[in-house]
Structures are given as C-alpha cells and as structure tokens.
Amino acid sequence: MHYKQKHIYIGVDLHKKTHTAVVINCWNEKLGEITFENKPAAFDELTTYVKQFKKRGMTPVYGLEDVGGYGRALAVYLLENKQKVKEVNSALSYAERKSYPTTQKSDSWDAECVAKILLNKLDMLPDANPQDVYWTIGQLVTRRNGLVKALISLKNQLHTQLSYHYPSYKKFFSDIDGKCALAFWEKYPAPHLLEGVSAETLSAFLRKSSNNACSTRKAEEILALVQADGDTTRKYQEQRNFLIQSHVRDIQFKKKEIAYVEEELGRMMKVLDFQLETMPGIDLVTASSLVAEIGDINRFASADKLARFAGIAPVNFSSGGKGTNQKSRQGNRVLHGLFYNLAVQQVQVSKGSKKPRNPLFYEYFNRKKEEGKTPTQALVCVMRRLVNIIYGMMKNKTAFRLPEKAEKQAS
C-alpha cells in the first residue's frame, strides 16, 4: 500500500467567524464538507465529523493556510489532540485555483484546493507548529511595526504643521522629533510665544531639555532664524498651536510605547536563548523579527528548506534544453525582506573608516561579482549564505564568529 493511501486529507478554509473543511481521499475524491464556528468549543465538530471517514490504519492530515492568525486556535487545538497538521502556503492554493479552465471562488472550493495541495505535496509542506512563544514574539513585532508606522505618519504631519509656523524650522534641530526638539515645539509651538524671551532664558530651557547638549549659541541661532522669518501669526492661532502640541504629545506617547514593546521583546527573546545579536547588523528588533517569521527552526530539516520558505532559493526556468535559474518571487516575502536588508548591511563600508562592516561577506560579495554575477545576483548569494548561518545559529543556539582570516582583515 502506498503511504498516501494511509491518510485522509482535510483542507480548511479559514475565516474570522467560521471555517469550512473539505475531506478528500488519496484518489482526489471528495468525501465530505463541514462548516463550523471559529471557537474552541466548536472544534470538536470537525474532529468528530472526520472520524466517520477514517478507516482502520488511516491517519487524518489537516492543511491550514494561516496558523498564526484566524487558524491559530484551530491549529493549537488539533496539535493538542495529537492530530497531524501541515502549513499550506497561500501561494500554492492560489496557483491550484488558477490551474483549472474555469476559475471558481468559494469557501468550499478554497478548502478543497487546500486539501488537494495537501495530498499532492504532503512531503514538501512544513509541519504547523504554532508555539506560544513564537506567536507572542510575532504579536509584539506586529505591535511595534504598527507603532513605528504611526510614528512616521505623525512626524510627517508635524513637519507640515511646523512649516506653517516656522519657515526655517528644519535649521533649528538636526531631528525634529529629538527629545530637545519635542520639548521646544511643545513649549513654543509658534514664534509669537518667543517674544520677550532672551537667549539666556531659551538656552537654559534647551540645556535642561537636552541634558546640557544644547548651548547658548543654539538659542541665539533659533532666535535669529525666527526674527528673519517674520510674523506668521494668523487667525485661530491658539487652535493651530494646539495642533502642534497634540502632535508632540502623540509622538512622545508612541516613542514610550515602542520602548515598552522592545523591553517585552527583550524578555521574550531571553526565553529562547538565541544569540543572533552577536552577528553584525542584527539588533534586538531584527533578531525578534527573524524569529517571529521563522518560528521553530526544527520544523525545517535543512537550511535549503528554510531558503525555499523565504523565497531565496533560485527557481529553474527552462524549455527544450535551454534555460536559466531565476530569482524566486514566492515564499515568505517578509522573511525575504529581512534577509535582503541584512545582506545589504553586511556588504556596506563604514563611512568614516572606509572599512567593511563585515569583511567575510564584503569579500564574498566582491568575489561573486568578479565571477561575472551582477550586484543583485551577488547580493542574493550573500542572502543565501546568511540563511545557512542564521539556520546554524538558531539550530545550535550559538554565537556568530568571524573566521580568523576575516578577523585579521577587520583589525
């Protein structure tokens, strides 16, 4: 008996309120279908329904597209009940739907397509492993990303508001959302509030706000710029001032929340005891983002499988004996982006010393270009090598260390 005959295949189409499951056998025959609520109390309905199709010696296999979002609760339930669960890439089920002459779109058909992928690619699909620690880190990373995005939007809005009040505001401070700058905008949201304020008074305020980083000269420069800009006072000035102060308070709140989230991320990462931050270019945020996307490293049997999951492994396109390996457009694009940004940092040269940030990858990158690869292709090679290193560091919980040759070059 072929091993695929020992299973029945259950594809599940996941939604916020309800899930739809379709059961098929190894001959691609549809055995049944059930729709149930997305809550733990209703998950028994699914397993009870599946049991009627299970013959002696057969094992049900469940396929879920999203084990970190709407499907997380179901995946956890199934695994706790000793069921076999596979994670099905949404790109695969999308391609399955598009492979038929007549394209359909319904919960039932989507679930059946997931079941067909489950049957056809059983050996290739990674096991679902929604462990609480990785899921929690992922949620914290998502929260931080949301705060950072909101902070960028607020800074852009503050730029706009300040341009109405202070035409030369960009010359006041190197960064408009620095601690000292925010204190200034909050106390003096408009130039008219500086009337009668001496350079000594302003410099005392700036020194206090910047921990003595700002000098009297900075205060004199700001007052001179305000004088040169002229009067910008308009009707409803009080409300306009309020807008700037409101933006400042919101920016300060977002920065505090980001710091709190990063503290929690630090605590969670200590639980896993990885040493990813020992590698140049990887800080707490990058390390936690990598862990959130990769999850349990043990679900990948090799670095090659992790590379395919990230869409870094090349794909062969050929016909009639002619063809080439091309860059993959599939895989986890968030993880792909993380490896791309990390690769760019590895091959950069420090502005001051002109020394490579990571001599190992800088030499490797240039060697690939000398072999005839374009800079983009050479960077993909760096990404692929990074996958091997990150995989080994996570698998063995080891620190990054440059080879002796590269260490000598860096010193």
Q: For the segment 107-152, what is each residue's pLDDT rounded down to a tens digit?
A: 999 999 999 999 999 988 888 878 889 999 999 999 999 999 999 9
Both tokens of 248, joined, read: 């400042």
Q: Is the pLDDT of residue 305 over 70?
A: yes
Confidence of residue 103 (pLDDT cuts 50, 70, 90): confident
**What is the CATH code for 3-130?**
3.30.420.10
DSSP 8-state code for residue 326: E
Q: Decide if 3-130 and 135-268 have a common fold.
A: no
Q: Amino acid identity, residue 264?
A: E
Contact between 137 and 268 under an 8 Å Cβ cutoff? The reply is: yes
Of 202-206, 315-319, 336-340, least confident by mean pLDDT is 315-319
CB-CB neighbours of 332 under 10 Å: 19
The whole-number pLDDT of residue 319 equals 58
Burial of 219 (0-12, 13-18, 19+ CB in 10 A): buried
Residue 97 has pLDDT above 70, yes or no: yes
Query: Each residue of 158-195: pLDDT tens digit?
Result: 999 999 999 999 999 999 999 999 999 999 999 999 99
Listing DSSP states for 77-102 in one string gives HHHHTT-EEEEPPHHHHHHHHHTSSS
The token pair that represents 139 in the structure block: 């949620």
The residue type of 231 is D
The tokens 């063995």 sit on which residue? 396
Q: Using 50, 70 and 90 to split pLDDT, how confident is the model at 336? A: very high
pLDDT reported for residue 233: 92
Q: Report whether pLDDT(285) > 90.
A: yes
- Give the chain's mean pLDDT: 91
Q: What is the mean pLDDT of residues 259-267?
A: 97
CB atoms within 10 A of CB 101: 4
Inform me whether the pLDDT recorded for 411 exceeds 50. no
- Looking at CATH, the fold of the domain delimited by 135-268 is given as Helix Hairpins (1.10.287)
Taking phi first (over 0 means left), then psi (-120 to 50 degrees means alpha), and beta for anything else, what does residue 315 get?
beta
As a whole number of angstroms, the distance between CA 353 and CA 351 comes to 6
Examine the pLDDT at 406 and tell me if it is beyond 60. Answer: no
Is residue 218 predicted with pLDDT exceeding 90?
Answer: yes
* In the predicted structure, residue 408 carries a pLDDT above the cut 50: no
In the chain, what are the domain boundaries? 3-130, 135-268, 275-410
Please list, in sequence order, all residues whose beta carbon lies within 8 angstroms of the beta carbon of residue 211, skipping any fewer than 6 positions away.
Answer: none
Say how many C-beta atoms besides its own lie within 10 A of residue 286's C-beta.
17
What pLDDT is recorded for position 134?
92
Question: DSSP assignment, residue 210?
Answer: T
Gap between the Cα atoms of 288 and 267, Å rounded: 11
Which secondary-structure segment (H or E) carries 107?
A: helix 107-120
- Over residues 10-52, the pLDDT tens digits come to 999 999 999 999 999 999 999 999 999 999 999 999 999 999 9
Least confident range from 105-109, 326-330, 389-393: namely 326-330
- The number of C-alpha atoms within 13 Å of 183 and in the hemisphere containing its C-beta is 14
Cβ(184)–Cβ(209) below 8 Å: yes
Q: At what angle do helices 216-229 and 199-209 cross, to 10 degrees?
A: 120
- Give the bridge partners for 318, in sequence order: 323
Which two three-digit tokens encode residue 409?
């070059």
Q: How many CB atoms lie within 10 A of CB 389?
A: 16
- pLDDT reading at 327 higher than 50: yes
Residue 2 φ/ψ, nearest 5 degrees: -65, 145
Query: Looking at the predicted structure, is the pLDDT value of residue 353 above 60?
Result: yes
CA–CA separation, 221 vs 225, rounded Å?
A: 6
Cβ–Cβ < 8 Å for 43, 62 = no
**pLDDT, position 328:** 64
Give, for 9, the enclosing helix (H) or strand (E): strand 7-13
Model confidence band, residue 402 (pLDDT cutoffs 50, 70, 90): confident
In whole angstroms, give the CA distance from residue 200 to residue 218. Answer: 11
pLDDT band at 407 (very low <50, low <70, confident <90, very high): very low
Q: What pLDDT is stored for residue 401 in this prediction? A: 85
Closest CA to 391 of 304, 329, 303: 303
CA 365 to chain centre: 25
